[in-house]
Chain A
Amino acid sequence: MTTFLLAAAAFVLLLTAVGLKPLLRARGEADRIMAVQLLGSGGIAALLLFAEGAERYAAIDVSLTLALLAAFVSVALAKAARRPHAAAPTTDPVDRG
């Protein structure tokens, strides 16, 4: 079971890293917020699996901190993006046919 949980943690961590790569080269605010969210949720999932697998329960507290930070950061970025002078349009052009 330990091996399974640790393998799952490594798998999720790998997926997070792969998903972050294009998002960090992001074009706009929305993609940057998504990068933060992905790092938050993927990192948290990997930490929780590690905590159970390796029986290091302190890692659960670390993931709780990460969850708090991800929540605050996404709210802060969303607020910053709302300011009119903040940034260029971030969504892809809308085809209005």
Chain B
Amino acid sequence: MRLALDLFTIVAVLAGAFFFLAGTVGLLRFPDTLTRLHALSKADNLGLGLIVLGLLPRVDSTLVAVKLVCVWLLVLLSGATVAQLIQRFNLPKTLVHLVLINGHFVPPAAREARLLREGDVLAIWPPIAGG
């Protein structure tokens, strides 16, 4: 049992470290702000999440386990609303033509209030010009 838990920790921590590596490479190599932010959020959400998950079986007290989960939730919160993401890119609102969450259209009035949940897929489309 102990061995299985240790293995679980090792696999999860290695996977988390891999996501940090991928996120950092993305930050260094991706050409623009949008794609760099994409890379960063992978490191944030998945990397840290997997590391917390890997550490959880090694924790003895419930309080410490709750703290670990709280840390992760706070990090998710710090990057987690659609409105904040749009403002962070400093995209003018007229350039944000379509917002899709999990493939469903979010009307402009609802964008400020919609919280992203874990696992949600966000797509932001500019108006398409040219011909």
- Contacts from A to B (Cβ < 8 Å): 1, 4-5, 8, 11-12, 15-16, 18-19, 22-23, 28-31, 33-34, 37-38, 40-42, 44-45, 48-49, 52, 57, 60-61, 63-64, 67-68, 70-71, 74-75, 78, 81-82, 89-92, 94, 96-97
Contact = CB atoms under 8 A, between A and B. Distances in A.
A71 B78 contact: yes
A41 B74 contact: no
Interface in B32-87: 32-34, 36-37, 40, 43-44, 47-48, 51-52, 55, 58-59, 64, 67-68, 70-71, 74-75, 77-79, 84, 87
Contacts of B129: 96-97
Contact of B68 (A19, A41, A48): A48
A28 B90 contact: yes
B36 A34 contact: yes
B24 A40 contact: no
Interface residues of B, number: 49
Contact of A67 (B21, B43, B58, B71): B71
Q: Name A's interface SS.
A: helix
A49 to B, nearest CB: 7
Contacts of A97: 129-130
A2 to B, nearest CB: 11
A38 B27 contact: yes
A38 B40 contact: yes
A15 B28 CA distance: 11
Nearest to A22: B28
Nearest to B78: A71
Given A12-B17, A18-B24, A49-B13, A61 B33 contact: no
A30 B17 contact: no
Contacts of B14: 8
Given A30-B33, A42-B20, A90-B33, A74 B79 contact: yes
B91 interface: yes
Contacts of B91: 91
